[in-house]
Structure 1
């Protein structure tokens, strides 16, 4: 009996450790190709013959004619979000999986760091010290007993909750089903968003971007938040309305916000820009969408993606499948 090896294509510039991990998982059952190493004249042939393709932003990595060749194939995203996928251009019989949870640990660590820095005022106290002010006895806030509302209780949300429970925090969460086996103080659906917003000292946005979550935090509900709460967005910029967030921060000096995922970023839009001067606000903090970028993070993402591709190639049973409702 002749064994025909499968073909797997990687369509983006991948780190060496992630590439090594993918080859370790799939090397015995598949030939792995890097699109960057394929000559232009051979691209169509390689795409057509591939059984699975690992992508990041397929509509930038392939043209429309090449995407039409995805029919019957398995498309595995290397990253969690699939909001950049133009699914209407994909063949109807293509299978697509996201890589949710692959970067959960580093993003959860980032969130914990932001929370501690915000409430224990680590950076501001350092700046005072640097300027010659010894502010030893002005109290900061303990996060013990605070309530954290996690909007999007998937891989990132669950890992964050796990870390925050160590600090004695109460966890309220929102997911699609309104159900979880985890020990939380409250779990609900998006229809109960206002309840979570109103009771939370900290709100974490880790929900996927789709039609139902675009501008989820807006002028109609942002004032439900406590006037001294902290909101952290590690999801997508368009989850929050810029004007609403800016006006809320301006009106509430004790409120704070941290944005890691922005409305306009260099990779997706060509440059970094905002409609409002958030970086001039004293109660705002931002980072260049790097909450997931730690040593070894891409290796783990590569492993998780490769294991899912392996499940498809061996038994046609991949996890984390995407539907049109996810956009």
Structure 2
């Protein structure tokens, strides 16, 4: 009997939907390692990732044919080793578009309207204007990475009457993006932006993409938002840029090392909002992974096709 292992706790409705598609398979579901560890070596399909799974996936005797990641980013997986094996890898790209775009604008609005400053003042019972006077309407946003998250962010930006500049590898136009650039044109885009939003995955090409040079190219009044990956930024250069007023502020959900160290200057900076890598968190996460990605991919796989949704190109890293 063929096996499918899901290393996540999902509700009974979704378990039943999957069982209906693979009635002759053994389906093992649960986040607890004790539930799945005796089964993964025989699993043809694994959905979700957990520490220690690589030893099973890379075992020469593994029956694995398809791994469905439960996260959009796959930079934490041993992609080079996977590339030498004969199985498909699909990501959960797309499930974050709504929650992350909401977080992006929460950070932008918070910094612009000094909400973070007022929250601190509230805790101290301090009534102070804090020299607040900026607004988002009519400003220019640069979205570095116009994928599903970037496109949703661009759509929301248009509700604020913003000019939207975008960066994508292909340079192809996208709806709600007024001007599209390629990564090698980043220096042309940055000086025009009031907000620079990084939504990129971490790859060999995006590693430390933002450093001192890029921050110098930005306006002194500009805000930097990163919800992609911390390693895309040279953190020491960002700290210096924020300290010296090279840029106005930053909203950061991701960092070079997580959890963020207690010694990090980011915690104490008045022009920084820190969130603990939670921008993608949502009550609808499992539902979207299962219904929008896993089930359609499973149906395609069973019909002999390559899983079509979010198939990872090992050479690109996404």
Answer whether contact 1:253 1:283 (CA < 8 A) is retained: no
Residue 256 of structure 2 aligns to a residue whose secondary structure is coil
CA distance 1:73–1:202, change in 2 (3 Å):
same
Alpha-carbon offset, residue 88 of structure 1 = 2.2
Post-superposition shift, 1:104?
Answer: 1.1
Task: Give the equivalent residue in structure 2 for 1:294.
Answer: 282
Distance in 2 separating the partners of 1:289 and 1:20: 29
Once the two structures are superposed, the pairs formed by residues 264-283 of structure 1 within 5 Å of their partners are: 264-266=257-259, 272-273=260-261, 276-283=264-271
Match for residue 53 of structure 2? 62
Q: Tell me the distance in 1 between the aligned counterparts of 2:178 and 2:293.
A: 32
Sort the Cα spacing of 1:320 and 1:71 in 2 relative to 1 into closer, same or farther, 3 A: same
Closer/same/farther in 2, CA of residues 207 and 274 from structure 1, 3 Å limit: farther
Which of 162, 169, 194 in structure 1 is aligned with 2:162? 169
In structure 2, relative to structure 1, the CA distance for the partners of 1:62 and 1:72 (3 Å cut) is closer
Rounded to whole Å, the distance in 1 between the matches of 2:56 and 2:44 is: 17
Does the 8 Å CA contact 1:261/1:289 hold for their aligned counterparts? yes
**Alignment of 1:146 onto 2:139:** yes
SS at match of 1:16: coil
TM-score by length of 2: 0.87
Distance 2:136 2:41 in 1: 51
On the 8 A contact 2:64/2:87 being kept in 1, the answer is: yes
Matches within 5 A, 1:186-197: 186-197=179-190
Deviations 1:230-271 (A, max 9, x none): 1111111101001110000011076111111121125xxxxx
SS in 2 for 1:92: coil
Any conservation in 1 of the 2:253–2:277 contact (CA below 8 Å)? yes
Match of 1:326 in 2: 316
Q: Of 3, 8, 12, which residue of structure 2 is paired with 1:7? A: 3
After TM superposition, the structure 1 stretch with the greater mean CA deviation from structure 2, 212-221 or 175-184, is 175-184
Task: Kindly state the Cα deviation for residue 78 of structure 1 after the two structures are TM-superposed.
Answer: 1.0
Moved more, 166-175 or 301-310: 301-310
Q: Secondary structure at the match of 1:162?
A: helix
Change (3 A) 1:61 1:34: farther
More relative contact order, 1 or 2 (CA 8 Å, 6+ apart): 1
Match in the other structure for 2:79: 87
CA-to-aligned-CA distance 1:166-220 (integer Å, 9 cap, x gap): 1111111111211134131111211111122221111111101000000010123
Residue of structure 2 equivalent to 1:53: 46
For residue 99 of structure 1, report the CA deviation from its aligned partner.
Answer: 1.4
The residue aligned with 1:133 is: 127
Q: 1-side partners of 2:230 and 2:175: how far apart?
A: 28
CA distance in 2, matches of 1:134, 1:286: 22
Superposition TM-score, scaled by structure 1 size:
0.85
- In structure 1, runs of 5+ residues without a counterpart are 267-271
Cα deviations by residue, 1:146-181 (Å, 9 ceiling, x for unpaired):
111111111111111111211111111111211134
CA separation in 1, counterparts of 2:243 and 2:209? Answer: 20
Structure-1 separation of matches of 2:160 and 2:81: 46
**What RMSD, in angstroms, separates the aligned Cα atoms of the two structures?**
2.5
**Closer/same/farther in 2, CA of residues 125 and 74 from structure 1, 3 Å limit:** same
